[in-house]
Amino acid sequence: MNPAEALRSHAQELAKSGELRKQLLKVKENLKPIEHSPMKILDARVFPIEMELEKAFETSFGRFDRMTKVFVTMTLEDQDGKKVTGIGESSPLPFPWYDGESHETVLTVINKHILPKFRDEEKPLKPIMSVEGLKQLYGGIVGNNMAKVGFEAAYWDALGKHLGIPVSQLWGATRTEVEVGTSIGLEATAEAMLEKVDQAVEQGVKRIKIKIKPGRDVYYVKAIREKYPLLMLQVDGNAAYDLDNPEHVTALAELDDYHLTMIEQPLNNDDRHYHLELSRKIRTPICLDESILNVRHAIEVIETWAKEGILDRLVINIKPPRVGEFWEGVQIAKICEAVGVPVWCGGMLESALGKTANVHFSALSGVNMPGDHVSQGKYYKKDIADPLEAVNGLIAVPTEPGWGVKNLTVSF
């Protein structure tokens, strides 16, 4: 038994006796965000920028060729009056198809409900001493995770710059380089898909994920497997499959023959329960993306998969924007690590800034599978900073203070 198997087996025992949830909550409680001397939040500002994708990206829910990113800057001031500004990214899709957010909802929530908290003349902001203080400002807003995340990201960047250390170290992350995977959108034919796969293999990525949807799944996978029998390969259904449609279930079960690393979010984007039922029927591990929005959801799926004795069939994709905060993501990664559940960092087609933040996040020891950090070629015609470069499927975690992005063109 390897160490992760031993952790899963122990967790399954604890689940049977009803102790597992308590243990997982303890992991969360023992994890405290870094505390620092009081910092005043002077201002937060928002810069929406439309960015054109190098190539249109298609998933089961739709196709898009441009994105409006919402960049957030935040200026903190220490007790000696020294100011530091950080930057973060909110990276919603153009339409509420992946989750309920779009760049319009993100901008509305930011302008109407978040920014006013930073500028309330009657309630001047108290200096903050950890990320918890920041969260108190807008933590009452339910959902809208993509709207919130840019603010927390800007805070981490500012704090890292203030303390002179990279953000990954603020979270206790220890990796110096992270493994890189790529996500390939739906293509019209298996040939076109293979061309993209060839390109990604040439790039040297550590694993490839392809988008699938009903009717466009097994034949893609079969074609790729014939050419690349040993490639680390996974598929993403983006909520397009229905457990009550026998054809869908048959296709998902057929995928068992192609030793995929995982099937990501085949069923509805708010569903966890029926994913468990599906996981009883197929051997390929199920990876949850859309339906894990917070620590509670992660604990719930770990507990229910463990009770069934199939914890080895669960993987969690953490996207910091989807869970609303990097810190929430850190907690989920720690909890998964404690029970041997693999984790990787997903992507939202972020700009070079958001991708860099994801690389810092992937430096956590609990994030132990290759993440969606690169495209096949570049993501955007014109990016807002230099993208981190992958060499032999690895990206070095920046060592400069904050995110350490280079040649940022958003001025603040």
In whole angstroms, what is the distance from residue 210 CA to residue 213 CA? Answer: 10
Instruction: Residue 179: name its binding partner from Mg ion, ligand OSB, none (Cβ under 5 to 8 Å by kind).
Output: none
Q: Choose the catalytic residue: 69, 211, 213, 355.
A: 211
Q: Choose the catalytic residue: 161, 206, 209, 319.
A: 319
Using CB under 6 A, pick the residue from 147, 158, 349, 385 that binds ligand OSB: 349
209 is catalytic: no
Instruction: Residue 347: name its binding partner from ligand OSB, Mg ion, none (Cβ under 5 to 8 Å by kind).
Output: ligand OSB
Report CA-CA distances (Å) from 46 to 36, 87, 143.
25, 10, 19
Tell me which DSSP letter residue 126 carries. Answer: P
Give yes or no for residue 291 binding ligand OSB (CB under 6 A): no
The SS3 assignment for 280 reads: helix
- Closest contact distance (angstroms) between CB of 403 and Mg ion is 23
Which residues in 19-46 are b (16+ Cβ under 10 Å) and which e?
Answer: ebeebbeebbeeeebbebeebbbebbeb
- Candidates 16-24, 244-252, 254-262, 341-349: pick the segment binding ligand OSB (CB under 6 A): 341-349
Q: What is the DSSP string of 322-369?
A: TTT-HHHHHHHHHHHHHTT--EEE------HHHHHHHHHHHTSTT--S
Residue 168 structure tokens: 């990954």
Residue 38 structure tokens: 């009081």
Residue nearest ligand OSB, CB atom distance: 347
In whole angstroms, what is the distance from residue 221 CA to residue 370 CA? Answer: 19
Q: What value, to the nearest 5°, has the Cα angle with vertex 59 and ends 58 and 62?
A: 75
Instruction: Residue 372: name its binding partner from Mg ion, ligand OSB, none (Cβ under 5 to 8 Å by kind).
Output: ligand OSB
Residue 122 structure tokens: 């009657």
- Closest contact distance (angstroms) between CB of 181 and ligand OSB is 9
Query: What is the torsion angle, in degrees rounded to the nearest 10, for the CA atoms of residue 48, residue 350, residue 170 and residue 131?
Result: 40
Q: CB–CB of 100/86 below 8 Å?
A: no
319 is catalytic: yes
Q: Which of residues 39-98 bind ligand OSB (CB under 6 A)?
A: 93, 98
The 236-255 site mask, x for binding ligand OSB (CB under 6 A), equals x-x-----------------
Q: CB–CB of 114/147 below 8 Å?
A: yes
Instruction: Residue 349: name its binding partner from Mg ion, ligand OSB, none (Cβ under 5 to 8 Å by kind).
Output: ligand OSB
| CB nearer ligand OSB, residue 46 or residue 348 | 348
| CB nearer Mg ion, residue 77 or residue 271 | 271
Tell me which DSSP letter residue 119 carries. Answer: T
In whole angstroms, what is the distance from residue 52 CA to residue 158 CA? Answer: 28
| CB nearer ligand OSB, residue 77 or residue 236 | 236
- Closest contact distance (angstroms) between CB of 88 and ligand OSB is 16
Give yes or no for residue 271 binding ligand OSB (CB under 6 A): no
Q: Which residues bind Mg ion (CB under 5 A)?
A: 236, 264, 289
Residue 180 structure tokens: 């890189």
Q: Which of residues 143-202 bind ligand OSB (CB under 6 A)?
A: 183
Look at the block and give the residue holding tokens 């899709």: 93
Residue 84 structure tokens: 């530091």
Residue nearest Mg ion, CB atom distance: 289
Q: Are strands 177-184 and 371-374 parallel, antiparallel or unpaired?
A: parallel
Instruction: Residue 68: name its binding partner from Mg ion, ligand OSB, none (Cβ under 5 to 8 Å by kind).
Output: none
- Closest contact distance (angstroms) between CB of 290 and Mg ion is 7
- Candidates 15-23, 226-234, 340-348, 390-398: pick the segment binding ligand OSB (CB under 6 A): 340-348
Give yes or no for residue 364 binding ligand OSB (CB under 6 A): no
Residue 18 structure tokens: 């009803």
Give yes or no for residue 404 binding ligand OSB (CB under 6 A): no
| CB nearer Mg ion, residue 89 or residue 236 | 236
- Closest contact distance (angstroms) between CB of 355 and ligand OSB is 7
In whole angstroms, what is the distance from residue 135 CA to residue 128 CA? Answer: 10
Number of residues that bind ligand OSB (CB under 6 A): 12
Look at the block and give the residue holding tokens 């069923």: 267
Give yes or no for residue 347 binding ligand OSB (CB under 6 A): yes
- Candidates 2-10, 66-74, 199-207, 347-355: pick the segment binding ligand OSB (CB under 6 A): 347-355
Site residues (vs ligand OSB, CB under 6 A)? 93, 98, 183, 236, 238, 289, 346-349, 372, 375
Catalytically active residues, by annotation: 211, 319
